[in-house]
Amino acid sequence: MTPEKKRTELRELGEFRLIEHLTQNAIPINSSTIKGVGDDAAIISPEGKRMVVTTDLLLEGIHFDLVYTPFKHLGYKAVVVNLSDVYAMNAKPKQVTVSIGVSAKLCLEDLDELYEGIYLACRHYGVDLVGGDSSSSLTGLTISVTAIGEVADEKIAYRSGAKLNDLICVTGNLGAAFMGIQLLEREKRVLKGVTGAKPQLDGYSYLLERFLKPEARKEIVEKLDEFGIVPTSMIDISDGLSSEMMHICKNSEVGCRIYLEKIPINEQTFRLAEEMNLDAFVAALNGGEDYELLFTVPIGLHEKIDEIEGVKVIGHITEQDKGVYMVTPDGNEIALTAQGWNAIKGE
């Protein structure tokens, strides 16, 4: 925060005027949004589709650090991580609600930036902000988002539908967000107490973006739809590939083989991992916050899947008693463990 920045204290407004101010741009664009902000509840017309509902809580000091997280990015990310869960059901997000608990250290201009990011994500993904709640908080900033989407019944992709011999597919690349936060944390440590110094982030802008302003894989779900493909199972990668693969195998009562060398990893991820003496594959397997999609399709769709840009086949589904394993290039099999990103253990 630069000293020149205007600072309007929240207590000057009060709750009702704050809500009015923050939601004045919340004009619904989706035909399924019958009534958005401004009543006891929003009204949605599902138009014959199934509704998908998911929610995530973001807490200051646990999920984000305001030292290196711009408010606009934070608002964008808070929406995106929820939309990612909607896409993971093979559904299209249509509405979000956003609740915030705000400590006295924040001013109206901070919240304006936060909501700029929220609205930007809404526009980019075509969703309506239809409700929420705001309150003061005695402590840190709290953000709770609920996302609502729609999907035809026959297109829902649960975690539980993976079948023997299905191909295991992953979108984009993994481990970049984890390396992004490693970099930010390193620079925070280095610069602690040093005034005027600037963090050394050159050459890793992709990693920072992956952590600070992730995207949900809208275009993949649209492409699958266009190709007439319904994944037999799907999940979004928020806790690392290992953990998500185990969820699919457990829920589908199957095993799997993932091939280590097939896991897609970005060049910057490899480079920073080497610089920091970390293992890029561990970042991909256990890092989390990638918000890529992990899904399975019948083996007969191999050629079709190869045509979709940004999707890579990394393994296949086995019988359950074969276990959940990763295969290294030299043929060793290593059992996957759900280390994952664990908000409770990680305290």
DSSP state of 11: G
| 296: nearest Cα among 288, 287, 305 | 305
Cβ at position 21, least distance to its own copies in Å: 11
Cβ contacts of 281 within 8 Å, gap of 6 or more: 175, 260, 263, 265
x/- site string to its own copies, residues 315 to 344, per CB under 8 A?
Answer: -----------------------x-x-xxx
Which helix (H) or strand (E) element contains residue 129?
strand 128-136
Of positions 8, 25, 99, 165, contacts its own copies by CB under 8 A: 99
d(CA 281, CA 1): 36
Residues β-bridged to residue 169: 295, 313
Mark 213-232 with x for binding to its own copies (rule: CB under 8 A) and - for no binding: --------------------
Judged by CB under 8 A, which stretch of 69-77, 145-153, 258-266, 318-326 contacts its own copies?
145-153
Binding segment (CB under 8 A) for its own copies, from list 58-66, 305-313, 319-327, 328-336? 58-66
Minimum CB separation from its own copies for residue 272, in Å? 27
Q: Which of 2, 4, 39, 194 binds its own copies (CB under 8 A)?
A: 39
Picking from 3, 186, 33, the residue whose alpha carbon sits closest to that of residue 97 is 33
Secondary structure of residue 342 in the 3-state scheme: coil
Q: For its own copies, give the closer residue by CB, 103 or 320.
A: 103
Stretch that binds its own copies, among 52-60, 68-76, 167-175, 209-217 (CB under 8 A): 52-60
Count the residues in the chain.
347
Number of Cβ atoms within 10 Å of the Cβ of 4: 5
d(CA 314, CA 330) in angstroms, rounded, equals 16
| Cβ nearer to its own copies, comparing 88 with 285 | 88
Binding test (CB under 8 A) with its own copies, winner from 29, 57, 197, 335: 57
Q: Does 34 bind its own copies (CB under 8 A)?
A: yes
Name which of residues 237 to 276 contact its own copies (CB under 8 A): 251
Q: What type of residue is 49?
A: K
